[in-house]
Amino acid sequence: MKKYYELRWEILRKPWNQPRGSERDDMEDKAIHIMACDGNKIVGVARLHFNGIKEAQIRYMAVEEGYRRRGIGSMMLRRLEEMAKEKGAEYIILNARENAVNFYKKNGYSIIEKSYVLFNEIQHYKMKKKL
């Protein structure tokens, strides 16, 4: 798990000079974590948690740069969606960074609304997929 959080921080926090620890929130213990590995190396991470009985949310999706566009992100997404469905979720929501909107659209998510701006520069879009 140390390596898992390290990759999350490297991709989603470090480029914006955010301290270690900023890559976690208070849902970690209750959430479902997934990682993709190449041998011993973690190359992709993502997380699912529940906001209610019907609503699950995906956060912290990240694939190491040299491993992108090989289907790893989609594979993790599919697995989290399967698990959400198995546990009774009816739909998934997420807040996509602008650069990831196409990735989620390709995987069946639709934009609901513009949501927040992170670190004063990363526009997010709330997206949803019915399971």
Ligand X SMILES: CC(C)(COP(=O)(O)OP(=O)(O)OC[C@H]1O[C@@H](n2cnc3c(N)ncnc32)[C@H](O)[C@@H]1OP(=O)(O)O)[C@@H](O)C(=O)NCCC(=O)NCCS
Q: Does residue 79 belong to the site contacting ligand X (CB under 6 A)?
A: no
Which is closer to ligand X, CB of 26 or CB of 65? 65
The bridge status of strand 32-38 relative to strand 122-130 is unpaired
Residues 1-40: x/- map of binding to ligand X (CB under 6 A)? ----------x-----------------------------
Which is closer to ligand X, CB of 88 or CB of 98? 98
In single-letter form, the type of residue at position 3 comes to: K
Q: Does residue 43 belong to the site contacting ligand X (CB under 6 A)?
A: no
Query: Is the Cβ–Cβ distance between 4 and 35 less than 8 Å?
Result: yes
User: For residue 52, which phi and psi values (nearest 5 degrees)?
Assistant: -175, -170
- Residues 47 and 30: their CA atoms lie apart, in Å, by 10
Q: Does residue 99 belong to the site contacting ligand X (CB under 6 A)?
A: yes
